[in-house]
Amino acid sequence: MDAQARRFVRPIRSTPGGFTLVELLVVIAIIGTLVGLLLPAVQAAREAARRSACTNNLKQLALGCQNYHSARQQFPPHFSPGGQTGVSWLALILANIEQASLAAEVQPLNPSYAGTNFTQNRNVARVRVPGFHCPSFQNEWADFSGSTIDSVTGGGKAYTTHYVANAGPIGTNIFTGRAYGQNPSTQGFMAVDGVMPLSPVIIGSNPSKPFAVALTDIRDGTSKTIMVMELSWSDMGAGSLRSWVRGAAWNNDMTAVRNIANAMRTAKYVTPGNFNSVSMGSNHPGGCNVAMADGSVSFLGEDVDLNGVLLPLASRSSGENVSQP
């Protein structure tokens, strides 16, 4: 090309690379959408892991109760020494859940927290037992007599439990039309037809010694009778949680054991009067875990029918023929 021709040819200039504003906004929108899709999946995976850990906790507690029964031919008893709150079934099965050293510190014939002369059981409540807490519920401290070890001498905080035993149903058996058995209490009632009530029969006074339920007493079927359930939902009311060492007091409260009287997550603690019948429930979406008397663990949906399913599953020997939903 001669010099004259080159005068009329313009050089090709390269344009700088990069995103336009529109392209950048599109990329940001795509990333935001992906993050929005990913976060629920991550949260669901975390909750699935927490629910699995909770299931394992209940499985270990159920096995501990089964091993206790194998050694003594009965499930852990609840009793009220001198009318005061006795120790819980959780305290009694410690040796069966690999907590032998802690079990050695428990005084099962003494009250769990009341009275200045009984400090040993209060001291045990200072110990955190990981398997007593559902990872989906963050509050591990006891309320009321749990902000301190007891209302008499104080002495530091106590750990609570998110798992309570089934004392039995309160209400009417729709299959027979008869009311389920119960004993009187200033905290509502004390059911008798569950797996670990204070008394497995209707009585007129505080039993002089503890007596408990055996497998042969569960005539409705061990796979159809709730033994342990979750009590760990956020809106159940201040005061619902107490020290894990506390069991039951005649004609008063039941702490590590509760009635099944209300639908799941419907009845919160309102003072006075309904402490023994605060609803079972959890922070797991859709329901809560329960351990049956045969040692199996199931997840019950929160919409499970109270009268047709939940109360019959709470009864050990009232003749209902129901299965888990």
- The string of pLDDT tens digits covering residues 2-33 is 555 555 555 555 555 566 877 777 777 777 77
Distance of CA 42 to the CA centre of its chain: 24
Residue 271's pLDDT band (boundaries 50, 70, 90)? confident
- The string of pLDDT tens digits covering residues 111-154 is 998 765 567 888 898 899 999 999 999 899 887 544 455 444 45
- The string of pLDDT tens digits covering residues 56-94 is 999 999 999 999 999 999 999 999 999 999 999 999 999
pLDDT of amino acid 13:
53
Which sequence spans correspond to the domains of the chain?
A: 43-314
Alpha-carbon distance of 48 to 303, in angstroms, equals 20
Nearest one of 110, 108, 113, 116 to 89, comparing CA atoms = 108
Q: Degrees (nearest 5) of the Cα angle 114, 154, 90?
A: 50
